[in-house]
Structure formats: C-alpha cells, structure tokens
Amino acid sequence: MAEFVVSLKNVNIYQGQNLVLKDVNFDISKGEFVYLVGKTGTGKSSLLKTLYGELTLTEGQAQVVGFDLRQMDWKKVPFLRRNLGVVFQDFQLLTDRNVHENLKFVLRATGWKEERLMEEKINDVLDKVGLKGKGFKMPFEMSGGEQQRVDIARALLNSPKLILADEPTGNLDPETSDEIMQLLIHIARDYGATVIMATHDFIVINRYPNRMLKTENGQVLDSSSPQS
C-alpha cells in the first residue's frame, strides 16, 4: 500500500469566515513531485498555509507527515514544521551572516545542540544542493540561483518528508530555473522527499511534466483523477 505523506478528505478551507476551497480530496505519496497551480486569489496560498499549520483546519480530515491537522494547536505546529521544508521565492536568508551561519541558526532553532552533528549536517545539505565548500560566502556575494540553492539546503536540514516550494523559480532566469527544477526533482526521486511546488511558470511545467493540482472556482482539480 502506498505511503501517503499528505491526505485530504472532504476538506473545506477558510480565510476567516470566507470559504476559499470546498470539498478538497487528494492523496500524495512518498517521493512524489506535484505542481500546485491556479490564478492569484483562487486559494493556492490558503492550501499551502493549511498544510503548513498556519491556517486552522475545522472541516474535513487531513493528515500531513503523520500529523492530524484537525488536532493541530500552537503547541503542536513546531513539531509539524520540523517534518516540513519550506522553500520561498525570495529566499529569506539572514543577510548579516554567511551561508554556514544561516544554516546553523535554523538547526539551533529546531533543537540541535551538538556542534559535530551540526557541522556534518550543514556539509551534507550543501553537498546535496551543489554548494560544497561555499559555506563561508555571504548571501550578497551569491547569484540568485545560488541563494535559492541555499534556501533548498535550509529546507533539507531536518530531513523533511515534505517540501513545500512556493514559486521557487519566480525570480530566476530560465537557465537557473532549469537548474533549480532539476535539483528539486532529484531530491524527490533520490531522497524520497515529497515535493509540492506552487508555480505560475508554465514553461517549467511543460518542460518537466508532473502531476498537477489546480485551484479553480473554489475547488482543487487533480490531473491524476479522471473527472478533472
């Protein structure tokens, strides 16, 4: 039986009192790469925020990396997020410290204490994203593509089962977008991490076709299901 990293059944997603997405049903397996597409304002961000524990789920059943979102409260959210990696469009790196210290900051914030293990983990993730030996660099000394790689390395620090990538190629030129896409697909395939990538970039989607979830008219349409 497939191991589902994300499973939503009859989920309704609200922003305040406003119903944004109705009757959402989909399962995503371990190591799967899935696009999340949809026009601005159709609920893409609300869906991501629900998966990330930022929006409270009150209707339907949802499991994310083994956590029941209906049982989620502010005390449990940090434990959920330790099993997730989040990749941002604008990198969100700390500009006053080098790459190594950026990564160490996250490890300390998520409970790591032993220096040797932290060093090993930092070297490991930098190697995975093709930045071995670049830990000394400051973010401003790096290209956009390199900064995005650091952002992906940061997302990998706690060996997440699920990576949520929010427009990771949005600010990059086509060649660099290609490199980042290949890296994300490689992480899903070779490390078994599930990747959900929100994007508007249909050039990327056409070049690297994968299953697609589309937010439209208050629904989530799934390219892998017969009715959509």
Q: What would the pLDDT profile of 173-227 be if each residue is shown by its tens digit? A: 999 999 999 999 999 998 889 999 999 999 999 999 999 999 999 999 999 876 5
CATH number of the domain at 14, please.
3.40.50.300
User: Do residues 102 and 154 both lie within one domain?
Assistant: yes
Spatial neighbors of 111 by CB under 8 A, at least 6 apart, are 82
> Is the confidence at residue 1, as pLDDT, over 50?
no
Q: Could you tell me the pLDDT band of residue 228, with boundaries at 50, 70 and 90?
A: very low
Q: Which two tokens stand for residue 219?
A: 């629904």
Q: Distance (Å, rounded) from C-alpha 122 to C-alpha 132?
A: 10
Largest CA-CA distance found in the chain, in angstroms, rounded: 52
- 1 with 24, same domain: the answer is yes
Do residue 144 and residue 218 come from a single domain? Answer: no
Provide the number of structural domains found in the chain. 2
Residue 60 domain boundaries: 1-83+162-173+185-228
The answer to whether residue 178 sits within a structural domain is no
Angle CA(66)–CA(81)–CA(113) in degrees, nearest 5? 115
Q: Does residue 179 fall inside a structural domain? A: no
User: Is residue 126 domain-shared with residue 111, that is, in the same domain?
Assistant: yes
